[in-house]
């Protein structure tokens, strides 16, 4: 049975030593003393290891079941959900006015990672509820806030997001669900939505569906989409639950993974809905949540790789098979542990250097979100808006890939469900798809974000890297040679790719689009190169000053070195692909395929 232990030392190193939360000029960050963070992480880690992780495999096996129109979650989920609620974990970064803890988003991100590693399907229940909270918090009327937010913060009620329809996913302009005005100011929502995660379950008293639909007579396409609050049970004046709304589960999808979270077909048959925000501005309301939601999915990606890595590492240390090429290392037994073999090391180092880099990248993104939201820092907001598709696309693609690599260390046992490695890969797979499939992330990055506001966020990113490299002039020659030089090379390649798009994009819009996926990965590598340089810089400084855990510092530097020497050079390949242009990609007509 797989195990999970929250990587608290690594998280603390990032928050305290690298990102130096307490020194940031962001409201609320000054209160984030190392002791407080440690206590939160330890408590969250304990809950994850002792309550959530033990339900991960059983939840996968049992799955969710539709009984008489109601979804039953796997055994133990209700108790676990109650424990999470009781501990106040559901409202960490929510507004205290509505019962939240008022902590910054970065703290909630660290906890979300820990919960996702322990049990991804479970973590989606509070995760989606947080999305509904954010939408209503940002766009709701005072009355809507008062009615829904306290219940969503406490997860007494949970939330869902209803976008996709059978014939339209990415292209929401094709949407058919309609919202017809009722006399009382509410709307009658009719239509079918699919892929609704946590669309129904038995963990909460009520479910607040946020539903995109079109008000008849509105503009065509995405400009005519509005967002509605559609509760499973209508809420009465005093907050008591009223009658069942006309929304029902059509079926539960059989899917590759996240079995413990029901993916529902939802039927709205004249269900009562309440307009959230302005009519026809539903897409805008959705998009305000996107940065957070997509960052959250990126976190899921590497969180699965983290837990898969932990188990692969344990297996590699435990399983005796073959001998080291340099002579027996475990002479008293008939064989050495797998970890002596260089190709097993290669595999583990790839996983480790990815996961730690990914975590740093995601937390940096979370800090930028706080900077934007809490400190009103517009450049930070712009930067994280640029980085969001990279965090989502790169971290979920690689996260899945490394779950598969971790599974490989187990040999045949990795293919057997009993060992749990298959589940990590199957669960991680969805993160590449939902909240915008990764091809759409690449399109968003190259087609929108790169040139947004005259390209100033991209320029700010390059400036940031340049400044960081310039400021490292006084660092050790070793650090500069091993970390700064490769980062400079990679960053230049990213700039070259962006320039290539600019120079060729006007002639042929397909040039940038044909290179978009490679650009997303190229960008991801540069970001991981950057955060690895920052982590290594701090580890070198700690070593020089004799602060921190010496073994930890050394491991950090060597792991970073692996990334710089073996992973970062992928940037050249992505650049070469990009610069081959659209011709090889678009050479065939559709019929010639």
Catalytic residues: 435
DSSP category for residue 320: B
Q: Looking at 17-25, 223-231, 237-245, 562-570, which segment touches a second copy (CB under 8 A)? A: 562-570
Residues 434-463 that bind a second copy (CB under 8 A): 434, 437-439, 442-443, 447
Q: Out of 122, 274, 517, 530, which residue is the one contacting a second copy (CB under 8 A)?
A: 517
Q: Looking at 102-110, 127-135, 451-459, 564-572, which segment touches a second copy (CB under 8 A)? A: 564-572
Question: What does the H/E/C string look like for 70-81?
Answer: EEECCCCHHHHH
Residue 456, CB-side half-sphere exposure with 13 Å CA sphere:
7
Query: Is 273 in contact with 211 (CB distance < 8 Å)?
Result: yes
Q: Looking at 41-49, 134-142, 416-424, 494-502, which segment touches a second copy (CB under 8 A)? A: 416-424
Nearer to a second copy by Cβ, of 367 and 445: the residue is 445
Q: How far is the CB of 332 from a second copy (least distance, A)?
A: 14
The answer to whether residue 300 forms part of the interface with a second copy (CB under 8 A) is no
Q: How far is the CB of 58 from a second copy (least distance, A)?
A: 13
Q: Out of 20, 65, 346, 466, which residue is the one contacting a second copy (CB under 8 A)?
A: 346
Cα separation, 55 vs 52, whole angstroms: 5
Q: Out of 154, 160, 291, 347, which residue is the one contacting a second copy (CB under 8 A)?
A: 347
The answer to whether residue 4 forms part of the interface with a second copy (CB under 8 A) is no
What residues pair up with 159 in beta bridges, in sequence order? 208
Q: Looking at 37-45, 109-117, 200-208, 514-522, which segment touches a second copy (CB under 8 A)? A: 514-522
Provide CB contacts within 8 A for 552, sequence distance 6+: 9, 13, 539
Report which of 419, 304, 355 is spatially closest to residue 2, judged by C-alpha positions: 419
Q: How many residues bind a second copy (CB under 8 A)?
A: 94
Q: Out of 44, 91, 100, 414, which residue is the one contacting a second copy (CB under 8 A)?
A: 414
The answer to whether residue 499 forms part of the interface with a second copy (CB under 8 A) is no
Give the pairing of strands 263-276 and 247-252: antiparallel
Cα separation, 38 vs 78, whole angstroms: 27
Distance of CA 345 to the CA centre of its chain: 27
Strand, helix or coil for residue 158? strand
Is 470 exposed, middle or buried, given 0-12, 13-18 or 19+ CB atoms closer than 10 A?
exposed
The answer to whether residue 331 forms part of the interface with a second copy (CB under 8 A) is no
Window 193-232: contact mask with a second copy (x via CB under 8 A): -xx-------------------------------------
Nearer to a second copy by Cβ, of 71 and 561: the residue is 561
The answer to whether residue 383 forms part of the interface with a second copy (CB under 8 A) is no
The answer to whether residue 503 forms part of the interface with a second copy (CB under 8 A) is no
Q: Out of 46, 156, 246, 345, which residue is the one contacting a second copy (CB under 8 A)?
A: 345
Query: Is 383 in contact with 367 (CB distance < 8 Å)?
Result: no
Strand, helix or coil for residue 249? strand
Nearer to a second copy by Cβ, of 95 and 489: the residue is 489
Strand, helix or coil for residue 272? strand
Query: Is 421 in contact with 2 (CB distance < 8 Å)?
Result: yes
The answer to whether residue 587 forms part of the interface with a second copy (CB under 8 A) is yes
């Amino acid at each position: 049975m797989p195990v999970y232990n929250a990587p608290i030392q690594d998280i603390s190193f990032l928050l305290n030593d690298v990102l130096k939360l307490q020194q940031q000029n962001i409201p609320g960050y000054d209160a984030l003393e190392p002791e407080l963070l440690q206590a939160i992480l330890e408590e969250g880690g304990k809950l994850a290891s002792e309550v959530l992780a033990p339900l991960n495999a059983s939840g996968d096996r049992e799955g969710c079941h539709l009984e008489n129109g109601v979804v039953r979650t796997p055994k133990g989920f209700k108790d676990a959900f109650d424990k999470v609620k009781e501990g106040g974990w559901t409202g960490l970064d929510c507004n205290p006015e509505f019962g939240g803890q008022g902590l910054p988003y970065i703290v909630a991100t660290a906890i979300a990672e820990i919960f996702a590693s322990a049990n991804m399907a479970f973590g989606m229940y509070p995760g989606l509820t947080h999305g509904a909270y954010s939408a209503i918090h940002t766009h709701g009327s005072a009355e809507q806030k008062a009615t829904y937010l306290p219940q969503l913060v406490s997860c007494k009620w949970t939330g869902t997001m209803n976008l996709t329809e059978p014939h339209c996913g990415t292209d929401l302009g094709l949407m058919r669900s309609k919202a017809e005005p009722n006399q009382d100011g509410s709307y009658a929502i009719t239509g079918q939505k699919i892929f609704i995660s946590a669309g129904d379950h038995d963990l909460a008293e009520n479910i607040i569906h946020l539903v995109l639909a079109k008000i008849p007579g509105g503009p065509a396409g995405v400009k005519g989409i509005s967002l509605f609050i559609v509760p499973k049970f209508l809420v009465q004046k005093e907050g008591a639950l009223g009658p069942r709304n006309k929304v029902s589960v059509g079926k539960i999808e059989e899917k590759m993974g996240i079995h413990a979270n029901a993916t529902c077909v939802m039927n709205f048959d004249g269900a009562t809905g309440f307009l959230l925000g302005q009519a026809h501005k539903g897409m805008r309301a959705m998009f305000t949540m996107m940065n957070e939601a997509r960052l959250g999915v990126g976190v899921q990606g590497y969180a699965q790789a983290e837990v898969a890595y932990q188990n692969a590492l344990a297996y590699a240390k435990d399983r005796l098979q073959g001998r080291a090429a340099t002579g027996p290392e475990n002479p008293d037994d008939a064989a050495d542990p797998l970890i002596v073999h260089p190709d097993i090391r290669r595999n583990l180092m790839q996983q480790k250097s990815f996961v730690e880099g990914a975590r740093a990248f995601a937390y940096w993104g979370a800090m930028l979100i706080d900077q934007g939201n809490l400190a009103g820092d517009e450049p930070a907001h712009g930067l994280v808006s640029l980085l969001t598709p990279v965090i989502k696309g790169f971290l979920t693609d690689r996260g899945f890939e490394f779950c598969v690599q971790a599974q490989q260390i187990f040999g045949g046992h990795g293919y057997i469900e009993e060992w749990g490695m298959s589940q990590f890969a199957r669960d991680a797979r969805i993160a590449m798809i939902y909240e915008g499939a990764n091809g759409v992330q690449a399109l968003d990055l190259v087609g929108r974000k790169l040139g947004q506001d005259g390209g100033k966020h991209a320029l700010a990113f390059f400036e940031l890297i340049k400044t960081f490299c310039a400021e490292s002039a006084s660092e050790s020659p070793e650090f500069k040679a091993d970390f700064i030089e490769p980062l400079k090379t990679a960053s230049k390649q990213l700039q070259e790719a962006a320039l290539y798009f600019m120079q060729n994009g006007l002639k042929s819009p397909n040039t940038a689009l044909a290179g978009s996926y490679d650009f997303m990965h190229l960008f991801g590598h540069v970001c991981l190169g950057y955060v690895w340089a920052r982590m290594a810089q701090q580890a070198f400084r700690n070593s020089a000053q004799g602060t921190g855990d010496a073994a930890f510092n050394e491991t950090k530097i060597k792991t970073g070195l692996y990334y710089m020497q073996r992973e970062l050079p992928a940037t050249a390949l992505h650049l070469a692909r990009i610069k081959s242009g659209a011709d090889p990609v678009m050479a065939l007509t559709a019929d010639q395929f």
